[in-house]
Structure 1
């Protein structure tokens, strides 16, 4: 447990307000924020998951997915428990919706995490599996040491993060993949328990702060797969991030509370790919599909395969 960052005491009888993410939770004594891992104890806000990992595994950086960042390298990947979203289709719901006291967590201090990465011959560290920013204090402390030791750092994030938190860690964070779940605020409210605009804003903030950025769009049948919504997503990406932003369209498979929705048809993914290329995007990829060619990188000028 460690005192949290990005909070202030409230004038309302012992409550504190957390500003780590745009929920800006007002938290009473003994209660927790929406993420389930930040608690008001004695009028101070504490992180309950500092240095507490649920999962540790060396992964190819391409698995994040990050295709334009240290290709061919491995990142020692860390997850914990909790999330500031409540996505009903989350494939990692066993950890993202778990409470710290209900899970057997492993204590790994920042110095140990960096040493483990080096022992596994990983070139970097990634925070993934669940939302990394909810254990911001740990990722910040570890990233500073990782930078000093010559390792890269990366987030795989839902993007629902406050600007101050992004900008403070940006000098020590090398890359981020942000998951754009839909271009509908109604989808975010009903399916995720969040809002769209802060996610879009965070992408621009990461980019502006010099963090390498790639974006993923999980295509869910009958929820966010219309051509109009795909085009809306691409219009935003082109205008705000540029046509050289790597875009990953990913296939949905039934999980958690959305098991009645079928997997994404290949033709839907191919159509999204075709639209994106037609709009002028240089680097478009398809994930969770059997055809490996759609995970290759081609030169936008001559068309030759690069990676």
Structure 2
């Protein structure tokens, strides 16, 4: 029987499954294999989904399952979408009325299906939306929107908002994701918009594929120039090449150029960019101020009452801004859980845990135990990181391998401490750790601060007291008050050091690091999330104190990789913490 949900149109035999692995044929109909079953439920804010023009700041219950009907390179959610069978045992069955009750108990105004692809849980979404409406809650989804026309039609009568994630405008881009055409997505966008559903769109910006973004914007403008477009600067994870990642400056240039096509264009995955803000399309005045809040996410700092500009323009907005924006704890909410579980994988990779069955059972246990809260706690220091290694080694029967890894990290870090630990304050340079753009500084509790201090620097980021994930946007005055001797550019959401220098010169940022040209990039994966942070520590020591440190980083890299990856040429060349997802 042909699946009626997705435009791929899988012909599913009796008892068989479709390509997404989430539907089967039972008797005369198609049914979900894991209906009303969830991997996670957690409260988030609307901007974390992200949705920007629908009740901004509202608290909603994010619900997530597993699986996807697409197969995209570098998928940020690959750990939960590429092999749903491996984590399906961790799914918890919750009937629609219980989901709604949890949303109410958490003080949420609505429910949002995101993280994995809601299309593979179509009937579950419909059931929850209908139940939510009875209790006065709204429902929305973040989806690739590859629904059949009939499925989209029925859904449009049930949900209140949708973020449609475009891969681009051309059929070629969609073939890269394993489907045939972009046409169903544009068709469904119009269908949802015409039905009165609040629609926002997002599109990936891959380096060299700017025409795909422009084409998407043009297609959207043919429906309505009021539809917000979120440009997702591509950050390569999984199997995606790092040369597909555009610099923040290139994405900003592209974003600026689209303002002649659409009224409201936003830039994500670019920490510190002002292009997350809402500006009046008539006079250019600020209407809403936001900042980066983890992968694909943002947080609203300020919103003009009613979305009204001083010139009289009124933002096309549904609902009033909610004061006191909800902040998710730890790694919870949005796409942050995917990074947390990849950090676990990075340790397991070093422990040589390759047994698929063992991994399946481990994932089930970790998800059921809410292990992400534990991971966040253990990222506070070297010592707590060692505790996490030992815990995972016990769970997987790799105790000796875990001790070998801990001993290696302790021995290498001790070599740094022995030389840098007794440096007087006058010999410790002031170091500022930034991400994406110079004015986005990591918060005081981040692991990178420990690296700086162990390497003989004074972490200026310890002085940042505001909340943020993973940092906050500083003013020019705050940056200059810090006056760093060195600026280190994070290896995660990164930019070339040359772009940093150009930004500082263009914006007139005055600091010792700028005048002395002391802006340095961290190697991807060497400062956070993976035991490879030990290489980042040695890299930092070489940078901050070349008079006392001269680590041969290529030799150290090969030694580490041979010991823990059993291959001296093993390498990870993108932003992932691991080379391959299971």
| Contact 2:64-2:115 at 8 Å conserved across structures | yes
Q: Distance in 1 between matches of 2:86 and 2:49?
A: 27
Richer in strand (by share):
1
Shift of 1:257: 1.7
Q: Distance in 2 between matches of 1:77 and 1:194?
A: 30
**Correspondent of 1:233 among 191, 211, 216:** 216
Partner of 1:11: none
Give the TM-score of the pair, scaled to structure 1: 0.88
Partner of 1:97: 82
Give the paired residue count.
287
Alpha-carbon spacing, 1:295–1:260, altered in 2? closer, same or farther (3 Å): closer
Shift of 1:259: 4.3
1:188-227 paired onto structure 2 within 5 Å: 188-222=174-208, 225-226=209-210
1:59 paired to 2:59: no
Partner of 1:305: 286
Shift of 1:123: 1.0
3-state SS, counterpart of residue 219 of structure 2: helix
Between structure 1 and structure 2, the one with the greater Rg is 2
- Which is further off, 150-159 or 94-103? 94-103
Partner of 1:75: 60
Alpha-carbon spacing, 1:194–1:89, altered in 2? closer, same or farther (3 Å): farther
Q: Distance in 2 between matches of 1:63 and 1:264?
A: 22
Q: Distance in 2 between matches of 1:195 and 1:106?
A: 34
Alpha-carbon displacement from aligned partner over 1:41-62 (angstroms, at most 9, x marks no partner): 4454221111110122211111
In structure 1, the gaps of 5 or more residues are 1-15
Alpha-carbon displacement from aligned partner over 1:153-177 (angstroms, at most 9, x marks no partner): 1110001001211221222211000
| Contact 1:50-1:138 at 8 Å conserved across structures | yes
Q: Distance in 2 between matches of 1:191 and 1:220?
A: 14
| Contact 2:80-2:87 at 8 Å conserved across structures | no
Partner of 1:128: 114
Alpha-carbon displacement from aligned partner over 1:166-225 (angstroms, at most 9, x marks no partner): 221222211000011111211211234342111111111111111100100111123xx2
| Contact 1:55-1:78 at 8 Å conserved across structures | yes
Alpha-carbon displacement from aligned partner over 1:239-268 (angstroms, at most 9, x marks no partner): 1x2111101111111112214445321122
In structure 2, the gaps of 5 or more residues are 289-582
Shift of 1:303: 2.7
Give the TM-score of the pair, scaled to structure 2: 0.48
Q: Distance in 1 between matches of 2:134 and 2:40?
A: 24
| Contact 2:203-2:213 at 8 Å conserved across structures | no
Shift of 1:31: 1.5
**Correspondent of 2:137 among 151, 171, 175:** 151
- Which is further off, 120-129 or 89-98? 89-98
Q: Distance in 2 between matches of 1:245 and 1:304?
A: 19
Partner of 1:88: 73
Q: Distance in 2 between matches of 1:60 and 1:118?
A: 15
Q: Distance in 2 between matches of 1:78 and 1:160?
A: 20
Q: Distance in 2 between matches of 1:147 and 1:258?
A: 40
Shift of 1:32: 0.6
Alpha-carbon displacement from aligned partner over 1:91-115 (angstroms, at most 9, x marks no partner): 1011112234643101111001111
What RMSD, in angstroms, separates the aligned Cα atoms of the two structures? Answer: 1.7
